[in-house]
Amino acid sequence: MVLAAPVRQKVQVCIGKAGLAVGSLVYVRQGRRENSAFAYDEGWLADPERFNVSADRESKTWLSEQDGPITDVKMLLGRASYFALDGLQALAVLAEVHSAVSNWRRLAVGPEVGLRPAELDDFAPAFEHAQMDAVAALLRGA
């Protein structure tokens, strides 16, 4: 029996116009086995100004002792000044992130990631949820 060579793809995950490296997504297929993993960039983890981008949907990032964990986008926008942003700047950043995340399915099946369309639903909860809908509505009203 001849085994096919394993397929390994690694994509660096960056955000923003500055291309801040968040980490790397690695996908490996060997025969019938498929695995994927995300590893944070050491620089991202070491910087206290960065935030958790976990797909588990439970926020572990606190804005302050007063606020506790971030629970929704409106809460985050309400504290834009904490990040030295005014309201318009915060909306501009939010629009940029929303645009990038909204295209996740197209990017996932592209050559850099290489997922099959049938695999996309497994990843959907990380990208398609009520907060994305809330951001879309907020941006339409802006």
Question: Which amino acid belongs to residue 134?
Answer: A
pTM of the full structure: 0.56
Domain range annotation of the chain:
1-50, 57-142
Task: Write out pLDDT tens, residues 18-64.
Answer: 677 888 888 888 888 888 888 888 887 777 666 555 555 566 666 67
Q: 87: closest CA among 96, 76, 99, 98?
A: 76
- Tell me, what's the pLDDT at 56? 57
- Name, in order, each residue with C-beta under 8 angstroms of 73's C-beta and a sequence gap of 6 or more: 94, 131, 134, 135, 138
